[in-house]
Each structure stands twice: as structure tokens, then as C-alpha cells.
Amino acid sequence: MMVSAVGVLGAVVAAKVGQYFDWRTAYLVGGGLGLFLLFLRLSVRESSMFKAMSEGARPAFASQLLLLFSPPRMGRYICCILIGLPCWYVIGLVILFSPEFAKALGTTGPVIAGNAVALSYTGICLGDLLSGGLSQFSRARKTILLAFIIATFILINIFFLLRDPSPATVYTLIFFIGIAVGYWAVFVTVAAEHFGTNMRATVATTVPNFSRGAVIPVTMLFTWLKPQLGTLHSGLAVGWLVLAIAIFGWFGLRETFHDDLDYVES
């Protein structure tokens, strides 16, 4: 929860760096932080469960892929990916195209994408803290995921149904949408908890990236629908589809909060 919440603040810093400095400075700041992160990762000790497993027989090359491609595990894997789609629908479409959506809504002033990114990621940071804290307090993962996905659905509908809002109203709603999709920490935790120690790292690193990669088909679908439905209706229609898919993925997962994670897939 804490790692995820602090990590997403990098986008807030990036928005400010990009606003006040040229691209070369932004490049050096981002590259320097990346190298610093590499140093920090090398300094982190290995999981005791992973060390105990790795002391045994080493798995054959690509054996994890063979384990993953068994139908039950592949189903779990896909469902884990699907519940993360709303996060990147919001970031990759709603926030990125917020100036265009704001214009179509009849906003009384300009909406700047950099400000929208900074506000949305501030909301995501708070959402990560909130979702993670609620998950620990309620001793549940799935209930919290569902609550945040439903909140995202409600707020997205409100956003696209605004009429002649002020930029402050748009920014405020973007901030709250950021909170609603700030279940990233719980989402990655659920993915990791659905698989054994020999697959956990692979799943926890690839599931978020496949969810992030969904920005490509999401924006392609939006671009295809826009001439037929218009900017606002196409954005809303894509949102309904993405959130419906996320709910479908949610039904395919089990509650993992109390699971014992000291096991391997075979």
C-alpha cells in the first residue's frame, strides 16, 4: 500500500517538472531516479519463502509458462488482468484526453492535461492508501475491489454527463475519479495472492503491464467510435465496456486475504 501510494506520486512530480523545465531536464530527472531505484532494488533482501524454494531443484527453462498456460491458471491470470482495466481506461483515456472532453462538455475555461494528470495521480495516491487501509481493516480484498470499481463507474457517468462546468469542477471530479481507481495496491496484491511462490513474482510483474497495455485497444476503440457517437458518448461507451469487463473478471477471482502463500504451483 505504502510503496504503491508513494510511487504514483512520481507522476505528480513529473507534471510539475514538465511544466517548469524543458524536456532535457525532465529526461535527466527521470533517468536519475530510475538508476536510484535500481540501486534500491539491489539493496532489498530476498523473500524467505522464495529463498527456501530456490534452494531446491531449479525449474526447467520456460516451465513457468507451461504452468501458466494450464486452463485453470490462465483463467485466474486473465481475471487478474481484467480487474485492472478501469485504472488505465481512466489514466490513458479520460485523463489524457481531458482537454478534449472538457471542450466537448462546454467547459467555461481551458483544462490543461498536465494539471489533470497531477490531480488524478494525487487522487490515486490517496485511493491506494484508502483501499489498502480498508482492505486491512475489513480483512477482505474482493469487497474493496468491487466498491472501488462501482465508485469509478458512478463518477465516470457523472463526468461525461456534466454540462457547461467550470474548469474547477472538472478538475475536482478528475481528482475524485483518481481516488476511485486508486485500488492499484489491492489489485496487484490480489494477483500475487492467486499464485504460488514459484509464479508469484512473474504474475505480480506481468499482470499490471498487461492491464497497462490495454490502453492501446481502449484508445483505438474510442478513436473508432468517435466519428459515429461523438467525443462524449464514445468515451462513455468505452468506459461502460471496460467496467463491465472488470466486473466479469472480479467474479472469476476468489477472496485471498486469509490464504497461506507458502506453496508452489505444480
Task: Kindly list the domain boundaries of the chain, sorted by start residue.
Answer: 64-251
How high does pLDDT run on average in the chain?
Answer: 89
Position 223: which residue type? T
pLDDT at 61 over 60: no
Residues constituting the chain: 266
pLDDT, tens digit, for every residue of 131-190?
999 999 999 999 999 999 999 999 999 999 999 999 999 999 999 999 999 998 899 999
Q: Are 139 and 258 in contact (CB under 8 A)?
A: yes
- H/E segment holding residue 96: none
Q: What is the pLDDT of residue 47?
A: 78
64-251: which CATH topology? Growth Hormone; Chain: A; (1.20.1250)
pLDDT, tens digit, for every residue of 96-141?
999 999 999 999 889 988 889 889 999 999 999 999 999 999 999 9
d(CA 221, CA 202): 29
d(CA 249, CA 55): 35
Q: Are 217 and 85 in contact (CB under 8 A)?
A: no
Question: What angle, 0 to 180 degrees and rounded to 10, lies between the N-to-C axes of helices 184-193 and 71-82?
Answer: 170
**Stronger pLDDT, 252 or 1, i.e. the higher one:** 252
Q: Which triple of cell numbers denotes residue 58? A: 531449479
Q: What is the pLDDT of residue 15?
A: 74
